[in-house]
Structure 1
């Protein structure tokens, strides 16, 4: 018999935390974009291109992470919902045998 344990509240907390972290990272990335723009306006030379390239790389990474979390969160929520429903169903079935 398989043995496993799942804490539905913990899994829900993880989904909520991932969403909050992603939002904070997005805000940080926007702030960085503002700083890069200010730097670019105040300076000239090769550094501008380097800052733009670095910012574009960070933005791509953030967008991939954001998409992954957006896709994973409803899946995790569905797992939690099905686990709770199955647990309740099993408890009712065994209670009826007593």
Structure 2
């Protein structure tokens, strides 16, 4: 099995964090005798109040993506400077 890419690892980490926060908050449904998921009213209200965990997971992903884009930008600038130097030396 090929190794996961770093962005896949970050995505998985953020999803695990969101799931863990939901479990800790007690907003997962309980199953009844028919196997159906049932939510209590309090769970629905609590889930509405805990939307910040989902937002935090998205921000974790965005932060890592933006960090990588900044590194790529630096590499592009270095490459352009190097190409300009080579062009000057050849002329």
TM-score, reference length from structure 1: 0.45
Larger RCO, structures 1/2 (Cα 8 Å, 6+ apart): 1
Specify which structure has the higher proportion of strand: 2
Specify which structure has the higher proportion of helix: 1
TM-score, reference length from structure 2: 0.47
